[in-house]
Structure formats: C-alpha cells, structure tokens
C-alpha cells in the first residue's frame, strides 16, 4: 500500500516538474522576437506610402524550423495585398546574421489625421500550428503637413485680374508659385506664373495676371498653387474662381443706350439756344426798320 502511494507521489512530482520546466525550456529553445527597426518617411504623410522594416530575431534556432510572419494594419493604414511571409528553416545557415528582415510598403489614407496608426504583427515558429501565433502591437506616427488656401478676386479690368490668396491651414507653405494653366475661357497674356515666396499660417498675398477673356460671360478662372510643405514635400492645389471682366471705358453709343434722357435734355437745350439767337436777330432787325 505504501509502495503504491510512493509511486503515485513520484509520478505526480514528475508531471508537475515537466509542466513547469518544459514550457520554459521550449521557450528558450525557440524564442522569437519582433521589432520595428525603420520607418520612411517618419512621420508618415497622408495620401502617400510609408515603408516599414521589421526584424525577427531568434530564427537561427533549428528547433523553430524557420518562422511565419503576417502584418495586420488598421485604418488609416492598408496594404495593397495581404500575405503571410514564411521563412523556411531548411534555408537557414549558421553564418547568417541571425535576423530576418521583412519590408512592407503601407498606404496612408489621404484623409488621415495627425496621430498614431496601429499595426498588429502575428508571428510564430514555422513548426507550430498556423492557428497558434503570438501578437505584438506597433504604432506608426502620422502627420498631416499639408495646408490649404482661400482665394478671392481683388480687382478686375478689361485685361487684368488681381487675386488675394491666404494660407488658411495650420502649417506654413514655402516656395509658393501661382500658375494659370491653359483653359478654354481665358488666355494668359505674358507670364502665366508668379513666385510668391513663403506664407505662414494666416498670412496672405496678392498676385496679378494679364488675361484675355474669350467671352463676356461669367466664367470660372482656374489656377494652381504650388508649394513645399513643412517636411519638404512639393505639393499642388487646384483652385478656381468665378470671374467676369467688363469694359470700364464705355463708348458714346453705350452711354447713349444707358442714358437716353441725357441726350434728350441736351437736344432741347440746343434748340432753345437756337430759338433765342433767332429771336435776338429778328428783334434787332425789325427795331432798326
């Protein structure tokens, strides 16, 4: 009886020891670690791509039989295509650098705001069931360095338009150029672009162009604003304003059409003067007789 209890106690002790020691031993045998080692550009820019480089350490151990890796991005980040990357353990050599570098190119949504975007990394030894994996979270900083402009027509003549342009965004704009492209309703006379320089947030400037309207109706004048943002990216904004150019020097015919009463009064005045002259001559002639 005592022998049976002793055997049972030994078995229990052995199983308890294995349950504690073996997981730790397996962890030490295949201990994978993932890190984000590079991001370009940093911070990421809305409307573009950000290149990231992950590094997996510990894949040199033969007990891992390589590794599996999958990137799970969340809005505003996305992948053009999703796949699971696999490093086959049989291709690994002892002379390698003991790391696995994994590059990705992530799309950044054009409407992304400033802040951090989240990524999940799923990774596991290659000899583990595909449904079992470790998860590690990473953050990608995003900064919207774009700005915006508002514009109004300041003045117009028969051959020139003056536009006031204000930086209404929260970031400065450098090396600004205003350019009027070829378009159906207007023809630019002379230069079609002007260098403005730099505008801080809240600043404004005025530019003038010599243009020839192709008709006298109100038409949209299109113009482009080129600028360099806060991190050195060259950008372009397309704008348009409703413009009507009228002739400021009216002809006599136009004046007559606009003010016929003025000419009627003038004609009456001339007639009265003529009648007065005739009367004076007539009176003088008959007084002598």
CATH number for the domain harbouring residue 211 = 2.60.40.1670
Does 59 lie in the same domain as 130? yes
The answer to whether residue 157 is domain-embedded is yes
In whole angstroms, what is the distance from residue 47 CA to residue 240 CA? 22
Query: E strands of 14-159, at which residues?
Result: 33-40, 49-57, 66-73, 77-78, 85-88, 99-108, 115-125, 134-142, 149-156
When pLDDT is averaged across residues 93-101 and rounded to a whole number, the result is 69
Does 71 lie in the same domain as 155? no
When mean pLDDT is compared over 15-29, 52-66, 264-278, the highest value belongs to 52-66
The answer to whether residue 272 is domain-embedded is no
**Which CA distances in Å does 57 have to 64, 66, 138, 276?**
11, 11, 16, 116
The answer to whether residue 85 is domain-embedded is yes
Last residue of a domain, one of 203, 222, 243: 243
Ramachandran angles phi, psi of 42, nearest 5°: -130, 110
Does 94 lie in the same domain as 190? no
Does 185 lie in the same domain as 210? yes
- Are the beta carbons of 216 and 187 closer than 8 angstroms? no
Q: CATH number, domain at 132?
A: 2.60.40.150
- Give tens-digit pLDDT for 236-287: 999 999 987 665 444 444 434 444 554 566 678 888 888 888 878 877 776 6
Q: Which domain holds residue 88?
A: 31-142
- Are the beta carbons of 54 and 35 closer than 8 angstroms? yes
What is residue 121's predicted lDDT score, i.e. its pLDDT? Answer: 96
Does 128 lie in the same domain as 212? no
Does 122 lie in the same domain as 40? yes
Last residue of a domain, one of 142, 174, 205: 142
Strand order across the beta sheet in which 186-188 lies: 149-156, 160-167, 204-213, 186-188
Neighbours of 254 (CB within 10 A): 11
What is residue 9's predicted lDDT score, i.e. its pLDDT? Answer: 54
Does 170 lie in the same domain as 99? no
From 11-20, 42-51, 278-287, the region with the lowest mean pLDDT: 11-20
Is 0.85 topped by the overall pTM? no
Does 155 lie in the same domain as 136? no
Last residue of a domain, one of 77, 108, 142: 142
- Give tens-digit pLDDT for 186-206: 999 999 999 999 999 999 999
* Structure-block tokens of residue 55: 């590094």
* Residue predicted with more confidence, 73 or 281: 73
Count structural domains, the chain: 2
Does 111 lie in the same domain as 170? no
């Amino acid at each position: 009886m005592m022998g049976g209890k002793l055997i049972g106690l030994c078995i229990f002790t052995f199983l308890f020891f294995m349950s504690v020691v073996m997981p730790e031993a397996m962890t030490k045998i295949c201990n994978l670690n993932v890190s984000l080692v590079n991001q370009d550009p940093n911070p990421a820019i809305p409307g573009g791509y950000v290149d990231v480089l992950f590094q997996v350490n510990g894949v040199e151990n033969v007990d891992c039989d390589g590794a599996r890796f999958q990137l799970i991005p969340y809005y505003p980040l996305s992948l053009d295509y999703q796949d699971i990357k696999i490093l086959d353990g049989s291709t690994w050599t002892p002379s390698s650098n003991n790391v696995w570098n994994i590059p990705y190119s992530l799309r950044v949504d054009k409407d992304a705001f400033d802040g951090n975007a989240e990524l999940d990394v799923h990774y596991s030894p290659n000899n583990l069931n595909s449904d079992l994996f470790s998860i590690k979270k990473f953050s990608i900083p995003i900064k919207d360095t774009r700005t915006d402009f508002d514009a109004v027509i300041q003045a117009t003549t028969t051959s020139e338009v003056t536009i006031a342009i204000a930086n209404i965004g929260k970031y400065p704009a450098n090396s600004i150029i205003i350019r009027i492209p070829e378009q159906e309703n207007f023809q630019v006379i002379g230069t079609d672009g002007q260098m403005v320089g730099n505008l801080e947030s809240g600043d404004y400037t005025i530019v003038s162009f010599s243009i020839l309207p192709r008709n006298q109706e109100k038409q949209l004048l299109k113009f482009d604003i080129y600028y360099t943002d806060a991190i050195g990216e060259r950008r372009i904004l397309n704008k348009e304003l409703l413009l009507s150019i009228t002739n400021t020097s009216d002809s006599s015919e136009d004046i007559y059409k606009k003010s016929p009463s003025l000419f009627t009064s003038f004609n009456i005045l001339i007639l009265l003067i003529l009648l007065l002259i005739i009367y004076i001559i007539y009176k003088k002639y008959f007084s002598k007789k």
